[in-house]
Amino acid sequence: MDAILASSFDDAASMVQQIGETVGVVAFAASGALIAVRRNLDIVGIVFLAVMTALGGGVIRDLLIGRTPPVAFTDFTFLVAAALTGLVIFFWHPPAALQRWPLEVTDAVGLGLFVVTGTAVGYQWGVAPPAAALLGLITGVGGGVIRDLLSGRIPAVLRTDEPLYAIPAFAGAVVTTTVMHFDWYRPWIGLSCAALITVVRLAAVKYSWHGPRPHYVGR
């Protein structure tokens, strides 16, 4: 009886996890495709950048925990979702004047969902809690870093003009891993955590919150 409850609860949790990852994939794929459109790439470049942005973080995470082949090569939902998103953006994309916010929003939504789902995957795989938080951060940030490297930009997390990005992500990963460690994790808690990361990141963009700079002596 308990086992059945636990199992159906686990099913619900894993369904939420799956949905969260898929929405994150679509959001990151859209962010990669929008950058590709802005750079006037052709259809191949758009789909390629969409897929690399959407799947890159999870593939790095899976390589690090030794889950090979990575889930992106066994469950094709993610690959198809990312490629379709790239195609949709190819045919329809917001006019240029609107492109900054769509990009920021899709990126922030993907970041929040990937940090939480990446942390959960790491934790369930059995790594220590700090490593799970780190894996969540890498899952969230990895896709964007690959996207920026491939399109010849310095990664957002290292740009001097970029508002807070890694700090909300890492804070969210620490909260998620703590919650899991004390066995309080519920799907809605994970989603709240993801939403909080997204909101804090977008607030940082809106209100130009930056991390402290070093006092640079030379110049």
Q: According to CB under 8 A, which one of 23, 27, 49, 82 is a site residue for a second copy?
A: 49
Decide: is 217 part of the binding site for a second copy (CB under 8 A). yes
Q: How many residues are present in the chain?
A: 219
> Closest distance between a second copy and the C-beta of residue 5, in Å?
32
CB of 98 or CB of 199, closer to a second copy: 98
Decide: is 93 part of the binding site for a second copy (CB under 8 A). yes
Amino acid identity of residue 62, one-letter, is D
DSSP letter at 214 equals P
How many CA atoms lie less than 13 Å away from 36 in the CB half-sphere?
A: 29
210: three-class secondary structure by DSSP: coil
Task: Mark the segment that binds a second copy (CB under 8 A) among 10-18, 113-121, 172-180, 211-219.
Answer: 211-219
CB of 164 or CB of 193, closer to a second copy: 164
Question: Which residue in the block uniquely carries the two structure tokens 């994790």?
Answer: 185
Q: Does the bond joining 69 to the residue before it have cis omega, within 30 degrees of 0? A: yes
Residue 209 to residue 219: CA distance in whole angstroms: 24
214 to 81, 111, 163, 211: CA distances (angstroms)? 42, 26, 16, 10
Decide: is 46 part of the binding site for a second copy (CB under 8 A). yes
Decide: is 96 part of the binding site for a second copy (CB under 8 A). yes
Decide: is 135 part of the binding site for a second copy (CB under 8 A). yes
Contact positions toward a second copy, by CB under 8 A?
Answer: 36-46, 48-49, 59, 63-66, 68-70, 73-74, 76, 79, 89-91, 93, 95-97, 99, 127-128, 130-131, 134-135, 145, 149-152, 154-155, 157-160, 164-167, 210-214, 216-219
